[in-house]
Amino acid sequence: MNKREKPTMTPSLKCLNIAAPLSVLALGLWLGLAPGSGLAAAEANDSVQQVLKLTGGRRTKVVWNQGGENSQKVMFLDTKDGNIQELPIGMGSAPLLTQDGRWVVVSAGKAPNDRKVIIYDIESKKTIETPAGPGNNLLAVWQDPKTKRVWVYVNDCGDKGEAWNVPAGKIYRFSVDKPAERELFWERTSSHIYLMFSADGTRACFEPSWSNIGQLSVVYDAQGKCDQDKSVFKPVGGGCFPSMSPDNSYRMFRLEGDHRAISMTDADAANPRKVDVTGMLTPAQKANNTWLTRWSTDPRYITLVAPAGPNAQIWMGRLDEKANKIEAWARVSAEKGAQCWQSQAWIEPGSSLGITPSGSHGTPLKK
């Protein structure tokens, strides 16, 4: 396995309404930007149209980081509005979308004592911030299908202010409606980066140590808290950027060491296979690879960055019905722009692809 480089994250791009019939210069002036600093309308429109074609016309939201290591702006695409915009929440990293598509959640702050979690309501434009402190390294979000409560999972980001390859501490969680009330979730393993849950919350995957993947079978007590004595952690194997399918198929994947394919398994590690994730690369980019893979809120779609490096863009791929291959790709971020980093997509429940929808958890994959 190749040694994985430390992913630094970031962004850069300003709000753009693609529906306005303006010239690039007039659009830049309309936005209050200096000439040349705006994004061409045609580029944003192309991204939106590619995404809509990929999802069969379903409304899609994508959030990602873009820019330099010290300027981690949070970018957002919404196919309903035809916008690519920088969210008005300052710098942030590892952005996530909640299952209901309402909230964007990010970590902000470099130094441990400055670390905080920002929760942004997409509809009302209001923000919620946790008190600053080291225990604000954002790990995951999960919506309880029974109570509809949205949970945010965090741990200690370590003395360096980051969670890369450090024995990060206990996992805590809080709900978006009560961010000051935290409860212990799990403390039986070390680092928990790239934590991600199944729809019912009974399965989760993460990296317990650098480039090693594990899966947690979660048992909840009568109060809805994780019963650590009954919950079971199991190592899965090497790799990075693991993801758990957002339905209840309990599929999961991990990015291979060469960052050119994902190792996909069905429930309980059955039917292992490799799925190529380089299909969007041009002939000139074939020497590059991909990284920062993540399942969306719909089990048919994933996002990643490609080609890895300073020209990295956000791409969304559509899995076939059995998760054996990526059958189509769409570029999300503008073709020209600063380097892109971590991302996640929300896809409107239901389907225009002739596939039976599965309620609030998107399009099911066939077993």
pLDDT digits (tens, 9 = 90+) for 170-216: 899 999 989 989 999 999 988 788 999 999 999 999 998 888 999 99
Q: φ and ψ at 86, to 5 degrees?
A: -90, 125
Contacts of 233 (CB under 8 A, 6+ apart): 188, 189, 208, 214, 215, 216, 217
Which two structure tokens, joined as six digits, stand for 290? 């991909």
Stretches in the chain below the pLDDT threshold 70: 1-40, 70-71, 157-168, 351-367
Question: Percentage helix, strand, coil, to 5, in the chain?
Answer: 10, 40, 50
Q: φ and ψ at 283, to 5 degrees?
A: -55, -35
Give the pLDDT confidence score for residue 39 in this predicted structure.
Answer: 52
- Among 100, 224, 120, CA closest to 179: 120
Determine the Cα–Cα distance for residues 111 and 166; give it in Å rounded to an integer: 15
Give the pLDDT confidence score for residue 8 in this predicted structure.
Answer: 38
Residue written as tokens 């692809």?
Answer: 353
Full set of structural domains in the chain with CATH? 16-361 (2.120.10.30)
Give the pLDDT confidence score for residue 120 in this predicted structure.
Answer: 96
In a 13 Å sphere around the CA of 244, the CA atoms on its Cβ side amount to 30
- How many H-runs (helices) and E-runs (strands) does the chain carry? 2, 25
- Among 164, 214, 154, 207, CA closest to 185: 154
Determine the Cα–Cα distance for residues 345 and 291; give it in Å rounded to an integer: 16
- Among 110, 94, 207, 71, CA closest to 152: 94
Determine the Cα–Cα distance for residues 34 and 148; give it in Å rounded to an integer: 44
Q: Exposed, middle or buried: residue 118 (CB in 10 Å: 0-12, 13-18, 19+)?
A: buried
Determine the Cα–Cα distance for residues 66 and 199; give it in Å rounded to an integer: 28
Number of Cβ within a 10 Å radius of residue 264: 21
Determine the Cα–Cα distance for residues 273 and 277; give it in Å rounded to an integer: 13
Give the pLDDT confidence score for residue 26 in this predicted structure.
Answer: 31
Q: φ and ψ at 135, to 5 degrees?
A: -85, 40
The rounded Cα 233 to chain-centroid distance in angstroms is 23
Determine the Cα–Cα distance for residues 100 and 77; give it in Å rounded to an integer: 16
Say whether 150 sits in a helix, a strand or coil.
strand
Give the pLDDT confidence score for residue 159 in this predicted structure.
Answer: 56
Do 108 and 116 meet the contact criterion of CB atoms below 8 Å apart? yes
- The 10 Å CB-count burial string (b at 16+, else e) for 43-54 is bbebbbebbbeb
